[in-house]
Chain A
């Protein structure tokens, strides 16, 4: 039973959660006021749980940063992470990018054709890709492929006491396990995003020009007019935050894994779900911020029509 407590990081206590089962056991009937009170108490407990978990994750991130700046990871821990996270993710990111480029062409073609603006597809597809879909899809694939794997791996290490073994041998697990994974995600997600962008542009071009028979010159010409360097920068800049979020969330879930196969499975699922939600939230707020910066610098925006 002691192994349950290997986490050593205290879980949020559920102060009021126990009231309902106790009532069920004693068979005592509950009045409506008590039921409402309990519901409010449960909501409060849930809020406390969430705030505690969020605070714990922020502390985890801050401690990772402090270790990252105090000592860089060794080559033998960083290189495998770079390979696992970056190189092995390339094919799946490239494939996703290609298909999403083609899907965009399929979906927008009929509407633009009805307006006689089919050569504008180049602008629509490529702008959507470099600003939004490229970075978000690359990050989603990374969260699915790498985030869950990291959470499962670190979770298994936690459950089988390998993290405790690291600590007992005088090695900080944040420095040894989290910093290389964090750096690999942070450094390689821009490349993955650019890969997704490139393959998406190629896929969109292929489908538009060879299957929908859109004039290639005007397709490129429109792309060039509407897609600027700032759009590309926006996507790549956002991806840095997505990469950091995936690494922190996934490693945190792994470190706080509950024991057993179920715990590891739950950590892997939670790593993906939390990362994905965080990616979308970050995407919205970074989008708003970067747009505000754009308009404050360049007020004239070329119109699609």
Chain B
């Protein structure tokens, strides 16, 4: 893969909170147009990695390169410009609860574009229709919607600025199996409609198998030897069942294995 094809890269990325290291020597290259699933158990640092990619968390060491520009070298204004090129779908949608659905979806447009209000309304309605929400929701407040609908509004808001990179943080967590599949379908439909690079943080193997071209598994540092790489799998979703590393196979199959013993040891 040629370097200029990569829209996002990390080089020797380290993130440490206080004295607790969360990410160590992460070297990840994401080519333009790829859909990458970051899998791993809760607390392994995958959400931290996602937030570091957009500059919500500053790396302790190493660098994040977006479209050949290092994020740490940008000033506030440039960083703002670059962030508009991202769409971030938050785990719990993170809608502004003081605003209506229409105001939420229109928020980035009002901040960064000079559209008339009827133009904004048209865009909002069409974006909501794309994620399968009726016009009637636009006057509602986020608290009046179900979890699945809120996630869809979150996706509509992330899409409204036509981002080049979409970051999904656990898009199907907390949803019923049918709604999870609706979200999976929406992610695939978004990808087929727009030339977008997607990074999906998930621990739902159905999502990883269905939407991703490539799967990277991140392992918690606490249970890793110091010489091991934190990314214990990097490959296609089809071959993950035959992965050489037993930890990967264990995760994919969802088996407790020796971890049950660990928990018992903790209890004593």
Contact residues of A with B, CB < 8 Å? 1-5, 8, 10-11, 13, 157, 160-162, 164-165, 167-172
CB distance from A178 to the nearest CB of B (A): 15
Q: Are A170 and B90 in contact (CB under 8 A)?
A: no
Q: Are A2 and B48 in contact (CB under 8 A)?
A: yes
Q: A2-B43, A169-B84 are known contacts. Are A13 and B56 too (CB-CB below 8 A)?
A: no
CB distance from B171 to the nearest CB of A (A): 14
Known contacts A161-B90, A168-B56, A171-B107, then 19 further A-B pairs from the complex at CB < 8 Å, ordered by chain A residue: A2-B22, A2-B43, A2-B48, A3-B47, A8-B57, A10-B17, A157-B96, A160-B92, A160-B94, A161-B91, A162-B95, A165-B90, A165-B96, A167-B55, A168-B83, A168-B86, A169-B83, A170-B81, A170-B108
Question: How many residues on the B side are at the interface (Cβ–Cβ under 8 A)?
Answer: 36
Chain B contacts of A13 at CB under 8 A? 18-19
Query: Which partner residue on chain B sits nearest A161 by CB separation?
Result: B94
Chain B contacts of A161 at CB under 8 A? 90-92, 94
Query: Which partner residue on chain B sits nearest A8 by CB separation?
Result: B57
CB distance from A28 to the nearest CB of B (A): 21
CA distance A299 to B74 in the complex (A): 57
CA distance A161 to B169 in the complex (A): 11
Closest 9 pairs (CB-CB, A-B) = A168-B88, A1-B43, A165-B94, A161-B94, A2-B47, A170-B83, A170-B80, A170-B84, A169-B108
CA distance A168 to B161 in the complex (A): 12
Chain B contacts of A5 at CB under 8 A? 17, 22, 48, 57
Interface: B58 (CB within 8 A): yes
CA distance A172 to B22 in the complex (A): 26
Interface: B76 (CB within 8 A): yes
CB distance from B38 to the nearest CB of A (A): 12
Interface: B136 (CB within 8 A): no
Q: Are B90 and A164 in contact (CB under 8 A)?
A: yes
CB distance from A263 to the nearest CB of B (A): 16
Q: Are B56 and A167 in contact (CB under 8 A)?
A: yes
Contact residues of B with A, CB < 8 Å? 17-19, 22, 42-43, 45-48, 51, 54-58, 76, 80-81, 83-84, 86, 88, 90-92, 94-97, 107-108, 111-112, 157, 161
CA distance A5 to B112 in the complex (A): 28
Task: Give 16 A-B contacts (CB < 8 Å), ordered by A residue.
Answer: A2-B46, A3-B47, A5-B17, A8-B51, A13-B19, A160-B97, A161-B90, A162-B96, A164-B56, A164-B90, A165-B90, A165-B95, A167-B55, A168-B86, A170-B80, A170-B81
Query: Which partner residue on chain B sits nearest A14 by CB separation?
Result: B18
Q: Are B83 and A167 in contact (CB under 8 A)?
A: yes
Query: Which partner residue on chain A sits nearest B50 by CB separation?
Result: A2
Query: Which partner residue on chain A sits nearest B111 by CB separation?
Result: A171
Q: Are A170 and B94 in contact (CB under 8 A)?
A: no
Query: Which partner residue on chain A sits nearest B79 by CB separation?
Result: A170
Q: A10-B17, A170-B81, A170-B112 are known contacts. Are A1 and B91 too (CB-CB below 8 A)?
A: no
Chain B contacts of A162 at CB under 8 A? 94-97
Chain B contacts of A4 at CB under 8 A? 17
Query: Which partner residue on chain B sits nearest A171 by CB separation?
Result: B111
CB distance from A275 to the nearest CB of B (A): 23
CB distance from B167 to the nearest CB of A (A): 8
CB distance from A165 to the nearest CB of B (A): 4
CB distance from A2 to the nearest CB of B (A): 4
Q: Are B18 and A10 in contact (CB under 8 A)?
A: yes
Chain A contacts of B80 at CB under 8 A? 170-172
Chain A contacts of B107 at CB under 8 A? 169, 171
CB distance from B18 to the nearest CB of A (A): 5
Query: Which partner residue on chain A sits nearest B201 by CB separation?
Result: A2
CA distance A13 to B17 in the complex (A): 10
Chain B contacts of A8 at CB under 8 A? 51, 56-58
CB distance from B58 to the nearest CB of A (A): 7
Q: A2-B47, A161-B91, A161-B94 are known contacts. Are A168 and B54 too (CB-CB below 8 A)?
A: yes
CA distance A162 to B99 in the complex (A): 12
CB distance from A100 to the nearest CB of B (A): 34
CB distance from B124 to the nearest CB of A (A): 15
Query: Which partner residue on chain A sits nearest B60 by CB separation?
Result: A10
CA distance A8 to B54 in the complex (A): 13
Chain A contacts of B58 at CB under 8 A? 8
CA distance A10 to B80 in the complex (A): 22
Q: Are B76 and A172 in contact (CB under 8 A)?
A: yes
Chain A contacts of B76 at CB under 8 A? 172
CA distance A8 to B46 in the complex (A): 15
CA distance A170 to B48 in the complex (A): 19
Query: Which partner residue on chain A sits nearest B52 by CB separation?
Result: A8
Q: Are B88 and A165 in contact (CB under 8 A)?
A: yes
Query: Which partner residue on chain B sits nearest A153 by CB separation?
Result: B98
Chain A contacts of B55 at CB under 8 A? 167
Chain B contacts of A171 at CB under 8 A? 80, 107, 111
CB distance from A12 to the nearest CB of B (A): 9
